[in-house]
Amino acid sequence: MAAILEEIISHKRIEIKSLDTQQIIRNRKPVSFRERLEASDTMAVIGEVKRASPSRGDININIKPEGQAAKYVSGGVDAISVLTDKNYFKGSMRDLEAVKCAVGVPVLNKDFIIDERQIDRAYLYGADVILLIVAALDDAALKRLYDYAGTYGLESIVEVHTEAEMERALAIGPELIGVNNRDLKTFEVDVANTERLLAKYGDASTHFIAESGIKTEADAERMRDAGASALLVGETLMRAAQPDATIRSLKVPRR
Ligand SMILES: O=P(O)(O)OC[C@@H](O)[C@@H](O)c1c[nH]c2ccccc12
């Protein structure tokens, strides 16, 4: 496993020790991102609320997440991702809750999920979608957490970076696969990673979401031509003077 990811996960193991097992009343039906994606005739865009990151340092730490989310919605965003990891990304579950209260589009809890209690918490704070990072989980845990999220009606984006991870992801038959263009070992970002992986696996009956390093309309077209039907965009939107205009430019027509 990549060095930084390893460090984040070992910190996460300590952090989750203080999470309680709780009886959760399952009276909320999550909003489907997959349905929205399937109904869209343009590239779907997931806008991310990301205050900081280990590779970029502080990006926009004093942002009001609900205000940023409202700008994304006015640009026609299809979902909003909220980084909730505190230590490395300066986010929180309160950021997620604030966004959920402010918007109607599906909300993704972006974190390093290794335990069922984090999924309980995601549901409790209003998430509709969670992220499962293949590189952070063994096959049994990946399957177990994927199925557990499903019991809440939460959708999972299963994230891969390499061919080996793609094979492991496809083995559980997920509806949504995120292809990360960022190498968590070197922090290098290369949108050609999605092109390489989808050239080989693009025929699989799943939706592919291109993640990281997407800046321009030309990038969006490249990801579309590679076979992605959605984009996950963080830094570009967090730094944009007008995130709504940027989102509009990324929602390129589907093939
Ligand atoms: O800011 P960018 O380059 O647009 O990237 C967004 C998103 O892909 C990135 O934040 C991300 C992808 N996978 C993750 C896993 C954990 C934390 C963060 C991420």
Tens digit of pLDDT for each residue in 122-154?
Answer: 999 999 999 999 999 999 999 999 999 999 999
Tens digit of pLDDT for each residue in 73-117?
Answer: 999 999 999 999 999 999 999 999 999 999 999 999 999 999 999
CB 194 near ligand 1, within 6 Å: no
Cα(236) to centroid(ligand 1), Å:
11
Mutation choice for ligand 1 from 212, 214, 215, 219, CB with most ligand atoms inside 8 A? 212
- Closest C-alpha to ligand 1, atom 13: 180
pLDDT value at residue 78: 98
Tens digit of pLDDT for each residue in 4-22?
Answer: 999 999 999 999 999 988 8
Position 1 pLDDT exceeds 90:
no
CB 128 near ligand 1, within 6 Å: no
Cα(211) to centroid(ligand 1), Å:
6
pLDDT value at residue 184: 82
Task: Report the complex ipTM.
Answer: 0.98
pLDDT value at residue 21: 86
CB 158 near ligand 1, within 6 Å: no
**DSSP states along the chain:** --HHHHHHHHHHHHHGGGPPP--------PPPHHHHHHH-SB-EEEEEE-SEETTTEESSTT--HHHHHHHHHHTT-SEEEEE--STTT---HHHHHHHHHH-SS-EEEES---SHHHHHHHHHTT-SEEEEEGGGS-HHHHHHHHHHHHHTT-EEEEEE-SHHHHHHHHTT--SEEEEE-B-TTT--B-THHHHHHHHHHTTSSSEEEEES---SHHHHHHHHHHT-SEEEE-HHHHH-S-HHHHHHHH-PBP-
pLDDT value at residue 204: 83
pLDDT band at 3 (very low <50, low <70, confident <90, very high): confident
What is the percent of the chain with per-residue pLDDT over 70, rounded to a whole number? 99
Tens digit of pLDDT for each residue in 31-79?
Answer: 999 999 999 999 999 999 999 999 999 999 999 999 999 999 999 999 9
CB 232 near ligand 1, within 6 Å: yes
Q: Say how far apart CA 156 and CA 125 lie, in whole Å.
A: 16
Q: Is the distance from CB of 96 to CB of 126 less than 8 angstroms?
A: yes
Q: Is the distance from CB of 178 to CB of 158 less than 8 angstroms?
A: yes
pLDDT value at residue 2: 65
Cα(227) to centroid(ligand 1), Å:
19
